[in-house]
Structure 1
Amino acid sequence: MLPSRWIKVVSFLRVGSCIAVLAQEDSLQASIIDRSTLDGKLFVGYQAWFRKPFEDNGNSHWTTSLSDPGLTLIHYVVGVDMVPNITGYPEECLFDTSFTLPDGKPAQFYTNDCEWVVDLHFSMMANYGISGAFIQRFYGYINEANGGWVNILNYAKTAAEKYGRGFVIEYDLNGAATGSTNVTDTFLADLEALSSITSSPAYMHQNGKPVLEIWGLGIVTEVTVDDGIAIVTALKNAGWYVILGVQQAWHAELAADQPGGFGPVYKLAHMIQPWTVGSYDVNNYDEFHDGRQAIEDRNALQQLGLESSIVVWPGGSSSNANPSEVFDHFPRWNGTFYQKQLDGAISLKPNFIFGAMFDEVNEGTAIFPVLRNRELPTNQRFLGIDDDMEPDIYLKKAGDAASKLAAAWQGD
């Protein structure tokens, strides 16, 4: 079992130059969410792909290269733009890097292979009122050796049950290709193998069906329209409620004369979730919201009789993993950018809000605690949050939005 000191993260307090996490041993679970519906909730995407490099455990994602097992994380292979605030993480789940903090100590990263990391992350979701997580399952890693991803799914299941959260499996089509694999059969076989996980009382349902998201139809070009039709049809026939994560201009492909368009696939879904990360910045978000989301998306969904999810994200930067990218490409503006999107999403009252992402430090969209600018390593460029912000500010914003969306649904 997890040591009691890690049971529940209550708040972050400034103590000199440190952040201390208070633990509370009573009330192991926050109130249990209603797992029978997505309506009125805010979920976060959970990558959970951060592992200690150079060990026999699949991939790391702290780095972009695993070519030299004699090295630790060094500047030319680092794959993240943000550094996690590891306050409260069990020591056995951490490892030193070659990045030097201002006090001369090495920065530490965590490994998702450690069950207590996943436990801590779900406790954060519970403490701030976030409904739970969509656990990313990448097609290219479905058959990963050593059970790494399946282990993490089991950790998430246990933590969601423990903290009264919900969870969903989200398949990412990256790595899939119609010409080389039967994607439909792969999904069905994987879901059968994961039945002990999806049968959890914490697994989310909608309209009486277990929920599954397929991300990337119309985005991952190696998967064809015909394959998309086969995938969605088979999953629906197997009893799943199917959400499709699609490109942000998805409704343009609904016209029957759109050559090669994925409209026939989108129409089969139960819910559409347009992927809007990178589609706007703080300057043109209002225009995007007022036009695309409030008019075009809403009208298309109503005409098709489909339910909806709106994606929000705090900002983005991925220049370490992708050197050609601009550093701090989508600034956070001290939380203003995220707050505008949360408020905009609530005003449209989708079935649920999807927060991209909980832990995505590769692309700088993480909302879990990361280091502030003054706390960053001195021998590598990273992006921090503003010095006048508390590390948990984005968790607070997400939790507040979850409460407001729930109230909007309860007001009906």
Structure 2
Amino acid sequence: MIDRSIPLFRKILLLAWLGGSLASAAPVTLQATSDDGRVLEQVSVRVSDRTAKAWVCDEASGGLKFLPAGQVAVPADGVLYVKVAYLDTGYGTLDVRLVPGGGEPIKPDRFLGFHRTDSGRAVSALMRFRGVPVSGNGGISLKVGIENSRGAKLAVGNAGVQDVPFEDANFKYVISEPWDGPYRGPRVRPAENTTLKGKVMTGYQGWFRTPNDPYGRGWVHWGNIPEGLFTVDMWPDVSQYAPSLLEKAADVKLKSGKQAYLFSSAWPGVVDTHFRWMRENDIDGAFLQRFVSDDFNSIRGGPEWVLANVRAAAAREGRIWAVEYDISGYPDAKLLETLKKDWKWFVDKFKVMEDPNYAREGGKPVVFIWGMPFPDRRISLGTANAVADFFKNDPQYGGNHLIGGIPGNWRDMEPSWQEHFRKYDDVLCWMSQRYQEDQADFGRLGLGYHAHVMPGFSWANLKHLPGGDTTLAHTPRQGGKHYWNQFSQAAKAGADRIFVGMFDEYDEATAVMPMSDDAPPTPSRQGVGVTYYNGANAQEQGKFVRLDKAELPLGGAAPHRDIAADHFFARMGGRIVVPVSGEYTFSVEGAPGDDVELLFNGKKVLDAKDLNGPASTVEPVFFESGASVDYRLDYRHRTGKGTLRLLWERRGLPRQPVPPEVLLDAWGRFITNEGKPADHWMKLTKMGKEMVTGKRRTDAPMP
């Protein structure tokens, strides 16, 4: 992480940015030079009420070229380490490349501190280059530039190169590979790890990223933070994280006016905090969501920071854990071989069988595979059966206790899929809540049953939904009553193993981790937001675009490259700012034979099927001048030609399209704790477990 502990003027003036900090074997200073090798003079840059010397560049300049002030001896392993000290003002990402004499530029394979966050401090980008030729033609040079720059030019104070890693704890972690072999750190063995019976396990995503974390990919799963656009419906309570684990969330301000900070699950200290919370609230452990990907270490050698963090945190906190493969979005043709290769990597390289904190049932390692029977995941029955057979029956890598994540409407599926379910040892019936029936039916099939409970649901930010419409994709938490009722009903049904979905999923507001009521304002900008879906209804995966006005041509070109020209569903919405008080009648026109629904603040005001000309609201709606009205327009297009338009009229204003200047692309919401403490949901989990294990009455009122 970026070092925020040393005042800026002290770093610049007393340490001369970098001088004296390269205290390792034979560090060599790098100097900015012109194309002909002439050393460039540094210029003065203003730092608060002081000035300092630096080399300056921006995107347009193409960056700076550095040459070593002395000889650089490339070690036999071809690995060099480079440090670039710069002033962290503005935003943008450093682009650094090492150029061997006469060779092609090399990008660093591991790095830290490449993202500017406008902290106003002197910081250092640390990096490792591999594959540097031991003998080259004319030595090396370094190119330093800036990409996606916002704000100040890049000011580089100093740079250096050496052949040993820097004495920086975070950088040493970034260049380590804690997934290579068994975990060898401190360990607390779980109190019991022979069965999942009587245990509460939670799903753990671990997918949040920030700039300058070990992955170095910027903001992931939080949203477009520099633009103030969010994909989470819960804002984290970060009060219990060490300040060094938090990243400044660009210029985002909370409702209180305070600067916002966020965490990355790639840092061990963050995951340690999460597993400490699990221990403190008697959550037995976590199923780590492992989204099947070609970027696995087993496939392409990608880093496995979160996986390593979860294993280590479970060991340190005495929790258990297991892999949950989520197959969503992965091609059927590749699934079996990818899972085979990855699980073999787990056994042979990651040494999962040597981990006493890895979940077991009857001596068998637990493997959870979620999603194969879901129709929209497009996995064939043959592939699903082959995957189950490998994990159960392979002579070397099989013998596992297999859990299958299946749809809540599993009873309606084809008999062949019903037969597939028997290949699992346990099942998780997703969002079923038919606990009594499920427990009985799976018992007759000889399968263990994981009852799925969750505190609530919302994805208005994630799916760009109008914020005032709480009727859509929202399961209110009711202060915990929804969650408590699920635990109670599952316990009454005799469920002896619980899956909490999820521990950390702020995206869909299913997390039980602490959230803050001091969230940023939800976004608003001029225009109209629309999401397209193939077929007659909204699905999980849509294609979002922004329009200047509430108008869409129909019956011609496809509205999006991934959407068919015909038979699609469009969800349009945002906010209307009413310019003049009055009774308004709204209409929607479109193509013949199409269907439309219009809602204001979640209340349906128009529902028309098989359009044949404009459809209008039955009764006028009165709005005061300046009123802000959330609207949602759901439109099912078939094959006709026409133009989708949202129209209005009032006394003195004939029917006409709603003008673009009153339309805002305003969306999203942050749910709150509803007056409860931030850790309320974790504490309810602990008490809910007591109902399942018989320590609390199943009809006990929520505390």
TM-score w.r.t. structure 2 length? 0.47
- Distance apart, 1:251 and its partner CA: 2.6
CA contact (8 A) 2:289 2:325 kept: yes
* Structure exhibiting the larger radius of gyration computed from Cα positions: 2
Greater fraction strand: 2
Unpaired runs of at least 5, structure 2: 1-185, 524-667, 697-703
Q: Secondary structure at the residue paired with 1:194?
A: helix
Q: Which runs of 5+ in 1 are unaligned?
A: 1-27, 66-71, 280-288
Q: Which position in structure 2 is the counterpart of 1:8? A: none
Residue 461 of structure 2 is matched in structure 1 by 320
The corresponding residue for 1:123 is: 276
Residue matched to 1:187: 339
Superposition deviation, residue 58 in structure 1: 5.5
Q: CA deviation at 1:405?
A: 2.0
Aligned partner of 1:347 among 480, 484, 492: 492
Moved more, 232-241 or 49-58: 49-58
Per-residue CA distance 1:229-259 (angstroms, 9 max, x = gap): 0000110011111000010011333x63xxx
How far apart are 1:379 and its partner, in Å? 5.5
Aligned-residue sequence identity (percent) comes to: 27
Q: Root-mean-square deviation (CA), in Å?
A: 2.5
Look up the match of 2:502. 357
Question: 1:164 is matched with which residue?
Answer: 318
Q: Which has the higher contact order (CA 8 A, sep 6+)?
A: 1
Q: TM-score, normalised by structure 1?
A: 0.79
Residue 396 of structure 1 is matched in structure 2 by 683
Partner of residue 362 from structure 2, selected from 193, 207, 213? 207
* Separation in structure 1 between the aligned mates of residue 220 and residue 197 of structure 2, nearest angstrom: 33
Deviations 1:102-143, CA, capped at 9 Å, x for gaps? 332221110011110000000000001110101000013652
The letter for the 2-side match of 1:294 is Q
Q: What is the alpha-carbon distance in structure 2 between the residues aligned to residue 233 and residue 60 of structure 1?
A: 39
CA-to-partner distance for each residue in 1:311-333, whole Å, 9 max, x for gaps?
A: 00111111111114755711111
Alignment CA distance shift 1:247-1:53 (3 Å): farther
User: Partner residue of 1:23?
Assistant: none
Question: What is aligned with 1:222?
Answer: 378
Q: CA deviation at 1:263?
A: 1.5
Cα distance 1:197–1:157, how it changes in 2: closer, same or farther (>3 A)? farther
> 2:245 maps to which residue?
93
Q: Which secondary structure does the structure 2 equivalent of 1:137 belong to?
A: strand
SS in 2 for 1:407: coil
Q: Does 1:298 align with 2:439?
A: yes
1:377 has 2:532 as partner: no
Mapped to 2, the partners of 1:235 and 1:59 lie a distance apart of 36
1:252 is aligned to 412
1:34 lines up with 2:192 in the alignment: yes
Q: Pairwise mapping of residues 45-124 of structure 1 onto structure 2 (< 5 A)?
A: 45-53=203-211, 56-57=215-216, 60-64=219-223, 72-76=225-229, 78-97=230-249, 98-124=251-277
Q: Distance in 2 between matches of 1:187 and 1:89?
A: 35
Q: Deviation of residue 157 (structure 1)?
A: 1.0
Conservation of the 8 A alpha-carbon contact between 2:233 and 2:460: yes
| 3-state SS in 1 of match to 2:278 | helix
Q: CA deviation at 1:218?
A: 1.6
The CA distance in 2 between the partners of 1:51 and 1:357, in whole Å, is 18
Q: Distance in 1 between matches of 2:218 and 2:384?
A: 28
Is 1:61–1:362's contact at 8 Å kept on the other side of the alignment? Answer: no
Q: Conserved in 2, the CA contact under 8 Å of 1:40 and 1:408?
A: no
Note the C-alpha offset of 1:403. 2.9
Indicate the SS of the match to 2:367: strand
Alignment partners' CA distance in 2, 1:60 and 1:263: 41
Alignment partners' CA distance in 2, 1:136 and 1:178: 19
> 1:197 Cα deviation (Å)?
5.1
1:214 partner letter: I
Q: 1:59 to 1:223 in 2, by over 3 A?
A: farther
How many Å separate the matches in 2 of 1:306 and 1:376? 43
- Quote the Cα distance in structure 2 between the aligned partners of 1:215 and 1:404: 27
Native 8 Å contact 1:49 1:60 kept in 2: no
Is this contact kept in 1: 2:328–2:377, CA < 8 A?
no
The one of 243, 266, 271 equivalent to 2:421 is: 266
Contact 1:135 1:170 (8 Å CA) reproduced: yes
Between the aligned partners of 1:166 and 1:141, the Cα distance in structure 2 is 27
Asked if structure 1 preserves the Cα contact closer than 8 Å seen for 2:364 and 2:399, the reply is yes
- The match for 2:290 among 134, 137, 161 is 137
**Contact 1:99–1:379 at 8 Å: present in 2 too?**
no
> Residues 7-48 of structure 1, C-alpha deviation per residue, up to 9 Å, x if partnerless?
xxxxxxxxxxxxxxxxxxxxx999933111100010110000
One-letter code of the match for 1:175? G
Cα displacement (A) at 1:193:
1.3
Question: Could you tell me how far apart the structure 1 residues matched to 2:441 and 2:514 are?
Answer: 37
Q: CA deviation at 1:377?
A: 1.9
